[in-house]
Structure 1
Amino acid sequence: MKCPFCQHEETQVLDTRDSEEGDAIRRRRRCTNCDKRFTTHERIELAMPIIVKKNGSRTEFDGDKLRASLMLALRKRPVSAESLDEALHRIKEKLLSSGEREIISGHVGELVMHELKRLDKIAYIRFASVYKSFEDVAEFQNMIEEFSGPAASRKGKK
């Protein structure tokens, strides 16, 4: 660690403590050259993978963009903010735990669809209709029929 005062390369750690939140370490240091003291903080830094788009371009993962996409699909749906946050956390966790440095955007879309399917069927269909770029009504009907199943067909026949 370089000294912020004289730029000397060698410093000595005098004291180490965990932060109150437990997510960082505070170190009190002394420069072996100029004898001045300073504090450093160490935090865990997890790097999200780079997103590779359909056209081959690469972009940094954007958690705000992911949240906005989910919120758009969930607009006016009875899903709590807590449930949304949990879904976002699960998606990010899967991306981090993959260990990949780059992930195809389609994989992120599939993760979003999986979470929306758990949260709200209507939001899932909204997102899927845009994400899968339905060409005609038949594709949309097939998606709806996935949720209808035999029970819904019986209701319609009564």
Structure 2
Amino acid sequence: MRCPFCAHEDSQVKDSRPTEDGASIRRRRQCEDCGARFTTFERIQLRELTVVKSENRREPFDRLKLERSVAIACRKRPVSQERIDKLLSSIQRQLETSGESEMASSRIGEMVMNGLKALDTVAYIRFASVYKDFREAKDFEDFAVTVGEAGRSPEQ
């Protein structure tokens, strides 16, 4: 593993342990050249997955890109990193076990929307604002009303 500080090719694993969700291994490493310590994560990857974007552009699936999007939606919300990690692992598992090597970005977006809806309503609306390309305040208002109506019981 290349050192992120000095780019030396060799490092020594000092500690390995599973993450809280059990979906990856966290490794503490030390560079053999400069002595700097850093952390890496090792995850299971069942298959290479290609995301089909709009206009049929294709790019490799990037969990970190998905993680950044969800983290932005959840910023300053009472959603723990552990719950976000579980959501991301669940989505990645669904994608990898789908049997398909290519997945439409819209399908991934819907998976994220469904997951965020269960985690936090505000994060759900934030993500939806980008995913559904809200153009004005009325778009937020209309969407928030549908979210509010979906959460009410029939007798309310």
Answer whether TM exceeds 0.5 for this pair: yes
Partner residue of 2:146? Answer: 146
Deviation of residue 136 (structure 1)? 3.2
Partner residue of 1:107? Answer: 107
Partner residue of 2:94? Answer: 94
Give the SS at the match of 2:51: strand
Q: 1:97 to 1:86 in 2, by over 3 A?
A: same
TM-score, normalising length from structure 1? 0.64
Partner residue of 1:81? Answer: 81
Structure 2 CA distance for aligned equivalents of residues 64 and 120 of structure 1: 20
Deviation of residue 56 (structure 1)? 1.1
Query: What whole-Å deviation, never above 9, does each CA across 1:13-71 have from its counterpart, x for those lacking one?
Result: xxxxxxxx9xxxxxxxxxxxxxxxxxxxxxx7511420011021111000111111100
Structure 2 CA distance for aligned equivalents of residues 71 and 45 of structure 1: 22
- Any unmatched runs of 5+ in structure 2? 1-17, 19-43
Deviation of residue 93 (structure 1)? 1.1
TM-score, normalising length from structure 2? 0.65
Deviation of residue 147 (structure 1)? 2.6
Deviation of residue 151 (structure 1)? 5.2
The AA in structure 2 aligned to 1:68 is R
- Any unmatched runs of 5+ in structure 1? 1-20, 22-43
RMSD between superposed Cα atoms in Å: 2.4
Q: Which has the larger radius of gyration?
A: 1
Structure 1 CA distance for aligned equivalents of residues 92 and 48 of structure 2: 8
Q: 1:77 to 1:99 in 2, by over 3 A?
A: same
